[in-house]
Structure 1
Amino acid sequence: MTASTLTRTAACCLGVFCLLQVPANAAELELKSLNSLTDATNQKRKIGPFVSIAVGETLGHTGTTRVGDRNFSLDDADGSAMFSIEVGKSWKAKRIPLQFSLAAEATFTSTTLQGSVPTGSLNPDDLAAYQADMNSLIFSLNGTFALDLYRYRARIGKILGGFKPYVGGGLGGGQVWFRNATGKSADQLTGGTTEPNEQPPFSIDEFINAWNWRAGLEWSWEERYSVFAEYRKSYFGDLDNLRGYGNDGYLVGFRYRY
């Protein structure tokens, strides 16, 4: 075999090898593109639209009840139920690890109001204590800022990377209902039987303004699913017979991003 023949054979082999490499490189580029698209889709799902449900309990409340010409205290009662459903969307900052969320929320709260005044200066039939059930349905627009630890999952691990501490607040309004209002006279508080000369004059229902602030922690174990726990402080606008009312409590819930 001559040198020229060897040269032609080597050239042919090199050409075939190059032709075989083109599809392989194209397939590799296509696979990388698909992986990048999948990662982008997962990231979008993680911060996109969401719906959440939560349940919780009030820890206490503050305010003043006005009955006749007397201001009654608002004593703490046992924890009462809170329920929430929220629909919103999240956005992420490009250069800093922050997320901003905007959501519409409906919150139902059921609680008990009760209080009393000193009986020393009262007549036996004067109203000295009251109790009433109060339910509220509040609609609010909420905004939150969250620290996105997911960006640092390569350093801190997948579990810690799933946490997002957040703070926020909301503004809205809704309806309040009073039920089962009862009162006791000064005589009844000391063991007597004299009925009070008036009953707590609570309105049956009333529209109010409301606002809140919150702080919590969310944890995601997948792109779409997360759980969260938050502390919340809520304030209500003044009602006819209830001034400066506010309550605080906690909520735990589940969030789905779609």
Structure 2
Amino acid sequence: MSWLTSLPAVALVVGGLLVAFLAAALARIGVRALVPVGEQDRVPQIATPLMPTLGAAFAIFAALSLASEAGYLRAAEGLVSDEAASASRLAWAATSPQVQSEPIDAALLDYLQTTRAREWQGTAAASGDDPATARAIARLERSVRAEAARPEVGTATDTELVVSLDGVTSSRRARVAAAGHEVPGLYVVTLMVSGLALIVNSGALVFRSSLRTSLLVVGVASVVGLSLALLFALSAPWRGPFIVSGHPLDAIIGDLKSGFFGGRS
């Protein structure tokens, strides 16, 4: 399913609409071809009562699926904010008396720039095994723990440094885990089946109508196609059309470069 969620937004929208329109056209043609002439009068009698039920079912499934994936996107943005907050706490902890902040600031800046460049999008975001990022994390760990181990730093300060460092690495682990999220297959199957059933039923209602009148089904097909496209677009915040913003981390990078944490800005 990851290949589908990685498509551009335009491809998802066009593909969803094409599938929906094709289903509507095949439904109209299929009813004419498959239903015996003597029974065709019964088709509207059967299809009409089903429309409210199928419409409600699709609306419920779409609302549940889209709300779940939209909530996941908000949670992903929260993880990035948490990582930026942890990086900020570490940068401020490095300004404590007796702490040599330059090695920590340099290692933290290298880590943030590397993770933004190397593991923010695509498969690298979910794997978490980029060599350059691993080296940057190791450098940051060594720099912070070396300062925390110095006797003149003091217990309170070394605890603050280590706890802040753990916050950065824990936030990264949570982000990497979240980047591996995929929309549950049952969501997709249920939504597609209910949407196609709604489209087919709509096509059955107008199978005897003129082509111009049958275009009324386009509205139903458009809603179904766009709903599916939106679901796929929302479900992969590090691979799909809606990439989670890295602005919170970029702001910390800018502050480190300007010397803000050291009071030199």
- Normalising by structure 2, we get a TM-score of 0.22
**Bigger radius of gyration among the two:** 1
Q: Which structure has greater strand proportion?
A: 1
**Higher relative CO (CA 8 A, sep ≥ 6), structure 1 or 2?**
2
Could you tell me the TM-score, scaled by structure 1's length?
Answer: 0.23
